[in-house]
Amino acid sequence: MRDDLPAWRSLMFVPVTSEKFVRTGADRGADGIILDLEDAVAPSQKDHARTLIAEAIPLVSRNGADVLVRVNRPWRMLVRDLEAAVIPGVAAVILTKVDSAEHVHAVEEIVAELEAERGLPAGSMKFVVLVETANGFFRMEQIAKSSPRIVAMSLGSEDFAADVGMQSEPEGLLYPKQQVIFAARAAGVLPMGFVGSIADFRDQEAFRAIVRRSRRLGFVFASAIHPLQVQVLNEEFAPKPEEVERAERMIAAYDEAYAKGLGAVQFEGAMIDVPVVNRARTIVNRAAALRARAKGS
């Protein structure tokens, strides 16, 4: 796994055109704020929305959240969105309806030009890619590996379900969502999302069950459309203290046995081997990254 990947549990969507949500977004506890230029902005407001990004950045990031911008897909709109979004203070752009590696390469070229023109460090603008079509689904592996700027990949459930003619229900989404996890991990980037509906945000316990199951499947973080979802994402996508303590004990027991030349290691009544210990190391590293993030906020 790369060492430049973000320590995110939650990203919260904020319509950049909503003064109220921009003003209060930083107080919700999300690790990142997504200033949305896409679905949350009416077509007649797109041009105006682009002019609001720069002034929104210090507001939504004042408590340490990273700032991301979700851009549109039609190329003429996308280019204008990138012109507005590739500025200091934006950590990443969320690319929508990505259906090929070539799409990412084209965006990469535009972003590189903008970084150079504006004195930004080369390669500093990261990408989160959303696969939302059947065409993109069958190219996920190539998409995930198409650029070192990519730090995460997700499946846009509603758009994907509409494109393939199915309901956006957990039963139908399980297979494509798992493919996102596999493609992201094969490319060394983070799988983003969960298997379930994001719409019914008021049923906290049902949402918690969805997120908890999704973490077991391999997802690392997800987006929220309502502040009520942020706390659940932060709690469920972070290792529990007892989980970290057990992982640390396991690693210590394994390392001690390995130093003695033992091939089989028993830990708390069970045999453990390299994959199990590597999973424990991932838990410990994740907890350390989240602690470092909290200290830097």
pTM of the model: 0.93
At a CB cut-off of 8 Å and minimum separation 6, what does 90 contact? Answer: 53, 57, 67, 68, 69, 125
CB–CB of 31/9 below 8 Å?
A: yes
Q: Which of 100, 105, 102, 34 is nearest to 71 (CA)?
A: 34
At a CB cut-off of 8 Å and minimum separation 6, what does 204 contact? Answer: 228, 232
Q: Percent of the chain at pLDDT above 70?
A: 98
Q: CB-hemisphere CA count at 13 Å for 125?
A: 29
CATH 3.40.50.12780 fits 10-236, yes or no: no
| 232: pLDDT strictly greater than 90 | yes
d(CA 120, CA 88): 7
d(CA 290, CA 233): 13
Q: Among positive and negative, which fits the CA dihedral 147, 151, 155, 157?
A: negative
Q: What is the pLDDT of residues 234-292, one digit of tens each?
A: 999 999 999 999 999 999 999 998 898 877 788 988 888 889 999 999 999 999 999 99
At a CB cut-off of 8 Å and minimum separation 6, what does 268 contact? Answer: 246, 249, 250
Q: What is the pLDDT of residues 19-35, one digit of tens each?
A: 999 999 999 999 999 99
154: part of which helix (H) or strand (E)?
strand 150-155
Looking up tokens 């350390």 gives 288
Q: Which of 142, 170, 144, 145 is nearest to 157 (CA)?
A: 170
At a CB cut-off of 8 Å and minimum separation 6, what does 288 contact? Answer: none
- pLDDT of amino acid 200: 63
Domain boundaries, the chain: 10-236, 241-296
